[in-house]
A = this chain, B = another copy of it.
Amino acid sequence: MFTDKEARIVKKTLQNDFAALTMESPAIAPHCFPGQFLMVRVLPQQYPLLRRPLSIHDRIQSRLSLFFKITGEGTALLARKNEGDTVDILGPLGRGFTFDRNFKAKPVYVVGGGRGIAPLYFLAGELKKRRVHVRIFYGGKNSKELPLLAKMRSEGFNLDCSTEDGSYGIQGMVTDLLKKSFKSELPAFLYACGPEAMMKNVYILASEHGVSSEFSLESIMGCGIGACWGCVKRIRKDGIGTWVKICEDGPVFPGQDIIWEKND
């Protein structure tokens, strides 16, 4: 964990409600793994007060990328930064995906919903480098909520998409894609990130088919470094459900350890 108070933005792209920032950060970039995150200071002032947790979306040598949806004031202000501006970042934080596994030449599924694709892109890239056969399942409300689609396609990723309104891919949920796919093959492993309700359904499906999985969870964070106990969720530890810190013990957890929220 390092702080880089002046990571310089070298590239910024905006696409609908999504922003991508690439920063030069030799202090932090070399240490990052997929699934880890940064705590990002929005402005140098005392408002907004807290840093924002954002996953590492990509890393190329000394450069890091973030990819985020504008959902509130903090992300809106971040998206207004320009090339040449600096960002104060802290990271890499948390435990990422465990991806140096022996997948026995079987395919590996990467399942993303909306902005949940952010860390999965980094993961998929690393898996590809290791010559793992990756299949990406990507769902969103509509085609605008699948912002990385074109990029991932052009990079040759194997992609299946769904949208709730049918504006791209099949009409339905990403679980519909998975259900269909599970009929013909079972992956060696499944990684997912997206809205909690989606992840829960993905987990149920995967576990019904005996597929091991990891999920990246979100939680409101005070510190990101395990000091405030603010980010807890119920996780099974030694068989017992306890409030576990997402920032330190996660954000990635094995599917079977997560105690999913009851639906309202």
Contact = CB atoms under 8 A, between A and B. Distances in A.
Interface of A: 45-47, 73, 77
Q: 5 nearest interchain CB pairs?
A: A47-B47, A45-B47, A46-B47, A45-B73, A45-B77
Instruction: State the oligomeric state as a number of copies.
Output: 2
Contacts of A45: 47, 73, 77
Contacts of A77: 45
5 contacts: A45-B47, A45-B73, A45-B77, A46-B47, A47-B47
A209 B87 CA distance: 58
Contacts of A47: 45-47
A46 B73 CA distance: 11
A77 B47 CA distance: 13
A61 B78 CA distance: 36
A77 B77 CA distance: 14
* Most chain B Cβ neighbours within 10 Å, of A45, A46, A73, A77: A45
A77 B46 CA distance: 13
Nearest to A73: B45
A180 to B, nearest CB: 47
A9 to B, nearest CB: 16
A73 B45 CA distance: 9
A211 B46 CA distance: 48
Chain B CB within 10 Å — which of A46, A47, A73, A77 has the most? A47
A81 to B, nearest CB: 12
A207 to B, nearest CB: 45
A72 to B, nearest CB: 12
A19 to B, nearest CB: 18
A47 B74 CA distance: 13
A91 to B, nearest CB: 25
A47 B73 CA distance: 12
A100 B45 CA distance: 45
Nearest to A49: B47
Nearest to A82: B82
Contacts of A46: 47
Nearest to A77: B45
Contacts of A73: 45
A73 to B, nearest CB: 7
Nearest to A48: B45
A225 B47 CA distance: 27
